[in-house]
């Protein structure tokens, strides 16, 4: 049985990957290495985790507006997450996912499954699907 959550479309496109979620906001500037796709903020619960190819779910972004360009650099380097899910997407993450071509949604109408679950994000329709 598949679950289909509906939310708000932020950045168009569709991507699938393993879910990596956290309840802690992420700062991409200084928090994520754009060359490796690894979270380098040692105070973050996901420190040392590689976000490349994952569906990255976090409440919202924080920090400098340069974070948008870090998302773009991740995309250019082939180290970006496959998709982004936010509780409430703010401007830094919205702009970053749009310019990087990373599908993104927020304001889902239900709960996400456990980390490691395969999920599909449809940023065009604003949906997240998983088994």
Catalytic residue (choose from 27, 64, 68, 75): 64
Place of tokens 């879910």: 19
64 is catalytic: yes
Cα angle for residues 88, 113, 12 (degrees, 5° grid): 45
DSSP 61: B
Q: Is the dihedral of CA 66, 70, 72, 76 positive or negative?
A: positive
Do 122 and 129 touch, CB atoms closer than 8 A? yes
Residues assigned a catalytic role:
64
């Amino acid at each position: 049985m598949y679950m289909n959550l509906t939310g708000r479309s932020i950045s168009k496109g569709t991507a699938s990957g393993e879910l990596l979620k956290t309840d802690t906001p992420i700062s991409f500037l200084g928090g994520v290495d754009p060359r490796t796709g690894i979270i380098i903020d040692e105070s973050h619960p996901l420190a040392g985790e590689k976000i490349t190819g994952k569906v990255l779910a976090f409440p919202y972004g924080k920090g400098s507006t340069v974070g948008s360009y870090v998302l773009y650099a991740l995309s250019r380097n082939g180290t970006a997450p496959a998709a982004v899910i936010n509780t409430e997407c703010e401007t830094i993450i919205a702009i970053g996912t749009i310019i990087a071509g990373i599908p993104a949604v927020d304001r889902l109408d239900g709960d996400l499954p456990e980390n490691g679950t395969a999920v599909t994000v449809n940023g065009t329709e604003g949906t997240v699907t998983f088994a």
